[in-house]
Chain A
């Protein structure tokens, strides 16, 4: 069964850093673009970042640009999201998702990992 599992969330103070990880299983990670989407408590979905299959193309939402770095290790089947200079408004559930083609649907999602930014 295809599966994505996120980890690395937690409580961090404003200005702090966090590294989120996503492990894929049951499929070949290198065949897919990978996406990070977040959801603030009680709010809607917000696209955060995308990384192409070979890491040649990276993109970020304006809300995290300059504070966020996405990377992947295809042999290890992992995708990471490094968040720095965290703000209270970065609080939320961070989901990892799979995209099978350019502009395609996010067809597989992980269960999410919670990030809380608070003093």
Chain B
């Protein structure tokens, strides 16, 4: 059971918009700690996709965007591409754990 809750899977056709939710609590996202997102392609190490809630590292396409509201965060992928098929993880800090926590991961399938 992950401290941050994500849907196990989402899917969409090429060109569509999909969103992935990340639900936390008052000891992590709700306390104002930043949320970061990672993309993990099959057989590869995770790669940072969004940092500090809504910022994209250099090289990440602008079809990826991040949002936070209260104790939740969301990752949106606009104009879904076949190469976006991957697992996506949210990450934050939790004051009860006194360490980092991850969501359980969401598998994105491009139909």
Contacts and interface: CB of A to CB of B under 8 A. Distances in A.
Interface of A: 35, 37, 44-47, 50, 59-62, 95, 103-107, 109-112
Contacts of A45: 38, 40, 46, 89, 91, 102, 105
Interface in B77-111: 87, 89, 91, 93, 97-105
Interface in B58-86: none
Closest 9 CB pairs of A and B: A105-B51, A47-B100, A105-B36, A44-B105, A109-B45, A45-B102, A44-B104, A103-B93, A105-B48
Q: How large is the interface on B (under 10, 10 to 19, 20 to 34, 35 or more residues)?
A: 20 to 34
A109 B47 contact: yes
Contacts of B45: 95, 109-112
B52 interface: yes
Contacts of A105: 34, 36, 48, 51-52, 91
A103 B101 CA distance: 11
A59 B100 CA distance: 10
Contact of B101 (A47, A59, A109, A111): A47
A46 B102 contact: yes
Contacts of B48: 105-107
Given A60-B99, A107-B51, 6 more contacts: A35-B100, A44-B103, A45-B102, A61-B99, A104-B51, A105-B91
B103 A106 contact: no
